[in-house]
A and B are shown apart, each in its own frame.
Chain A
Amino acid sequence: MSLSDAKPTGPAIEFVGVNKWYGRFHALRDINLTVGRGERIVVCGPSGSGKSTMIRCVNKLEDHQKGAIRVDGVELTDSPRSVEAIRRDVGMVFQNFNLFPHLTVLENCTLAPIWVRKKPKAEAEAKAMELLGRVRIPEQAGKYPGQLSGGQQQRVAIARALCMEPSIMLFDEPTSALDPEMVREVLDAMVELARSGMTMMVVTHEMGFAREVADRVVFMDSGEIVEVNAPVPFFDAPQHERTRTFLSQILR
């Protein structure tokens, strides 16, 4: 059964008692979280809190040693086939864009659909142009990533992930490596994506984005989830001591 065939029902992502170690270091402690279909979750917290580690566990870029992670109802195991199946349905955008520098923008976007979803070239290119239009850079299709600005590259990265038609999108600090004047264009693309109903899990420091778009905000510290709430009560009335400290530091 391909994950993209049947219309997915039930929660998109489930973390049940998830623990992860790097050697002896306990990186993720007792993570319990359910992300509903179409829900937008923003994860924030100080550096080293494990937020990137947590979302990288969703598409098995990191392994967890204890507990269960379920994506679209299917549990993540070590079997390569199940991992690849999940990765086809979960898109990821990285902090450092990670575009393929030896391919054009268009080729970046069509590589996976052609080779993994076995789409004909013309169909993949049409879809790619449509998505590049959605992130507002269709005219860059023939250029190489080295010729684009950071903001443009990140938008290409978003389009590239969307070309695989995932039902879940993960963002790992997508704007942290950008110059300030380019953050806006990437956030706009993400807001537009959220408005279209995509299930999103976003690690970011952009609290404005959280307020505007998130259904829930998750605060992590030292490997554990400390507080989860809807944006309004989260920002206006944080309940945990550590949440208050963190918010006071970043919202000056």
Chain B
Amino acid sequence: MTDAAFVRLAPAPALSPPASLVGPWGWARANLFSSATSTGSTLVLAALALWFLPSLIGWATWKAVWIAPDGAACRLAQDGACWAFVAQKWQYLLYGSYPESEHWRVNVTEVMGAVLIGWLLWTGAPRKLLGAALFFFVYPIVAFVLLHGSAIFGLPYVDTIRWGGVFVSLLVSLVGIVFSLPLGVLLALGRRSTRPVVKALSVTYIEVVRGVPFITVLFMANNLLPLFVPDDYAPDRFLRPLVGTVLFAAAYLAEEVRGGLQSLPKGQYEGAAALGFGYWRAMGLVALPQALTLVIPGIVNNFIGLFKDTTLVSIVDMADFLSAMDNAMKDTVWSGPTILVTGYVFAGIFYYVFCAAMSAYARGVEKRLAAGRNR
């Protein structure tokens, strides 16, 4: 309209968008062909996919050997994965050299752990304090008895040298996270303290541990721990890497918790003070519960990182999943050109699925927390 006044008498017609905008063609126009460079990229990538994908998928599926008693069939099928190898070795990959008759003990330990963790992480769960007490205090003892053996309960001893595979990877990461939580919280509180000695000790510990590679911590624990303590307390060869893992994980966890404490609005501390809470009460009842909930995604990410880092424990003679796979691949019955790639790809898939699932969980928690905070 021009400079004259205007009053709309009838509502404007509701039209549907032009075809070039919606539907699959509209999507393609916007996402694949929106500019010259975009079109070029689409063409190049599509060409590459057509070139490589069929042989890759074929390698993993129709050209692969799925069932075989030994490596003969795999040696013949050089274009395909040797999944039969994985199938035959699955027990070793899961349990290491743990005696087969006692596998049930490992299974029971893992199921209990899963149930307890599920209890703690499920938001609507009742009586979480009981779950936490069980998980942090009762479960470690029960798990130790089950896995290691005890004359009292009629469970034959299984030397730690026979432990290996997935269950060791899970064990190390879980022990790492569980025992590093209290230490990490203490360190985080210590770092925020105004008392110079406490703060200095905490900062030194955190910065030193975070500045060195995990391998050096493992070496230190392996070589030096027996030297630090008198002979009668000499730690088992399995215990030393566990201690190293806990000490390492605690420093990183401390930083996560500190971030959570810092991100709490000051009003929380002020509210607690106004209610007459002293330091420990304010921390224990108000600040920490909130901060720990906030950093659950961070803690889960730490767990994922720790799970990947457990691959390093093989350097101190602890057989985790990756080293079990490595050992399995050396079996001459199966040797062939496809074994190495098959083994590593399978290991990759295993880690990927596990870590991606945990990541997705962490993201879900984060979203829920954010929704609760930002209205």
- A interface list, Cβ under 8 A from B: 19, 21, 23-24, 26, 29-30, 32-34, 36, 39, 65-66, 216, 223-230, 233, 239-240
Contacts and interface: CB of A to CB of B under 8 A. Distances in A.
Interface in B1-18: 1-3, 5-8, 11-18
Contact of A24 (B2, B12, B17): B17
Contacts, number: 59
A228 B16 CA distance: 26
A223 B13 CA distance: 11
Given A24-B22, A34-B3, A224 B8 contact: yes
The 5 closest A-B pairs by CB, nearest first: A21-B17, A29-B12, A30-B12, A228-B6, A229-B5
A65 B12 contact: no
B21 interface: yes
B15 A227 contact: no
Interface of B: 1-3, 5-8, 11-18, 20-22
A34 B2 contact: yes
Given A21-B17, A21-B21, A23-B17, A228 B1 contact: yes
Contacts of B3: 34, 36, 39, 216
Given A30-B12, A216-B3, 16 more contacts: A21-B17, A21-B21, A29-B13, A65-B17, A65-B20, A66-B15, A225-B6, A225-B8, A226-B8, A227-B7, A228-B5, A228-B6, A228-B7, A229-B6, A230-B5, A233-B5
Nearest to B18: A65
B13 A34 contact: no
A33 B7 contact: no
B3 to A, nearest CB: 6
Contacts of B22: 21, 23-24
Contacts of A226: 7-8
Report whether over half of chain B's contact residues are helix, strand or loop; otherwise say mixed: loop
Contacts of A224: 8, 11-12
Nearest to B16: A24
A230 B3 CA distance: 9
A137 to B, nearest CB: 33
A230 B5 CA distance: 7
Given A24-B16, A26-B14, A239 B21 contact: no
A36 B1 CA distance: 11
Nearest to A20: B17
A240 B7 contact: yes
- Select the residue from B11, B14, B17 with max chain A CB neighbours within 10 A: B17
A225 B16 CA distance: 19
A13 to B, nearest CB: 12
B1 to A, nearest CB: 5
Nearest to B8: A226
Nearest to A229: B5
5 contacts: A24-B17, A26-B17, A33-B1, A225-B8, A228-B1
Given A23-B22, A24-B17, A32-B1, A227 B12 contact: no
A238 to B, nearest CB: 9
B15 A26 contact: yes
B17 A227 contact: no
A20 to B, nearest CB: 9
Contacts of A24: 16-17, 22
A213 B1 CA distance: 21
Nearest to A27: B17
A16 B15 CA distance: 16
Contacts of A233: 5
A65 B15 CA distance: 12
Contact of B21 (A32, A33, A39, A65): A65
A196 to B, nearest CB: 21
B173 to A, nearest CB: 42
